[in-house]
Chains A and B, each alone.
Chain A
Amino acid sequence: MSGKMTLITGGSKCGKSTFAESLFSDFSGEKFYVATMIPSGEEAAAAIERHRKNRAGKGFATIEKYRDVGEISLPAGCGVLLECLGNLCANEMFCGDEIRFPNEKILDGIMHLKNVADRLVIVTNDVSRDGILYDETTELYKKNLSELNRKIAEMSDCAVECVFGIPLIRKGNL
């Protein structure tokens, strides 16, 4: 028996994180925030700091896990917020000299989280609608992430698109 799973997607700065966090406001069990962004460079550090501040006081324990989310050990019945799939996909793809195809591994990892958590919320990015054709590697990333988004939406009980701060329910119920 696995808990409720929700996927949150949308573009840059559209309120995904704030909305994702709000889905745990009534959750009384232990809550974990799985942070997938590698703190490299000034902008990443600033983004991480901003997210930390927003999350402060909301009762999440932070687990930094840039890859291998299937290895995280968690207490049964907890709440998990994973942010974000876009970073996880990039970190798994671009690790070492050769580009890897990480989708199966990531989906197994997500399934592991879903099985242990009573509530799982995954934040992802909508990266394929700017109409620009990028280099081969970036296109491969777009393809992998978009495929992950589709598969995770399928596994999820609920899928939400955030548009300028407004959550639109695209599948199921909140």
Chain B
Amino acid sequence: MIMIIGGQFQGKTEYAKTVFGFRDEEILDGEKCDINAVFSAKCVNNFHKLIERILEKNEDPVRFCERLCGENNRAVIIMNEVGCGIIPLRKNDRILRENVGKSGCMIAKNSEKVIRIFCGIPEKIKGDLP
């Protein structure tokens, strides 16, 4: 598994396409894809949005990620880092932010590489850069 993280609009998707050669149709969008399709997807973008949808279904995102790591351990997961700010005022926003953190820890633990993109520049967080 490979994880690509970073702030918004830093070039994460572009990096995945360039380095791993994904075509647009191979990249699922976590905001609107069929949730079960991620278990066989090559690449899932906006994974933090998928976590929001899992929470809306009253399911545990960390468990979901644990299953994903077991069933699709070759996937490339792209997600935003959302935890480096002020604690949100709304409870649901706080729950989402915490679950993105915990789910990300689960994916990172099971990934051979974690790459952070900043201004389009990749930084190795875990494993060597591809």
Task: Tell me, yes or no, whether A128 is within 8 Å of chain B by CB.
Answer: yes
| Least CB distance, A105 to chain B, in whole angstroms | 22
- With contacts A11-B81, A129-B7 taken as known, whether A164 is within 8 angstroms of B86 at the C-beta atoms is no
For the complex formed, measure the closest distance between the CB of B62 and the CB atoms of chain A, giving whole angstroms: 10
Interface residues in chain B, defined as those with a beta carbon under 8 Å from any beta carbon in chain A = 3, 5, 7, 81-87, 91, 94, 97-102, 104-105, 107-109, 114, 116, 125-126
A165 and B109 contact, CB distance less than 8 A: yes
Residues from chain B with a CB closer than 8 A to the CB of A10 are: 83-84
Asked if residues B109 and A163 are in contact (CB atoms below 8 Å), the reply is no
Interface residues of A (CB under 8 A from B): 10-15, 43, 126-132, 134, 138, 141-142, 163-166, 168
A43, A130, A165: the one contacting B85 at CB < 8 Å is A130
Q: Which residue of B lies closest to A47 (CB)?
A: B98
Which residues of A are found within 8 Å of B125, using beta-carbon distances?
A: 163-164, 166, 168
> Known: A164-B104, A166-B108. Contact between A13 and B83, CB under 8 A?
yes
Give the docked Cα–Cα distance between A155 and B105 (Å): 29
A13 touching B85 in the complex, CB below 8 Å, given contacts A165-B105, A166-B108: no
CB-based nearest A residue for B105: A165
Q: Which residue of A lies closest to B95 (CB)?
A: A43
- A128-B85 contact in complex given A164-B104, A165-B108, C-beta closer than 8 Å: yes
Once A12-B98, A164-B107 are accepted as A-B contacts, the answer to whether A129 and B85 lie under 8 Å apart by CB is yes
Contact status A11-B86, CB under 8 Å: no
Q: Which chain A residue has the least Cβ–Cβ distance from B91?
A: A43
* A15 and B86 contacting across the interface, CB-CB below 8 Å: no
Check A164–B101 contact: CB distance below 8 A: yes
Which B-chain residue is minimally distant from A18 (CB atoms)? Answer: B105
Q: A14's contact among B7, B83, B94, B99, by CB below 8 Å, is which?
A: B83
Query: Are B3 and A164 interface neighbours, CB within 8 A?
Result: yes
Smallest CB separation, B99 vs chain A (Å): 8
Given known pairs A129-B7, A164-B3, the reply for A14 and B105 (CB within 8 Å) is yes
Whether A126 lies near B94 (C-beta < 8 A) is no
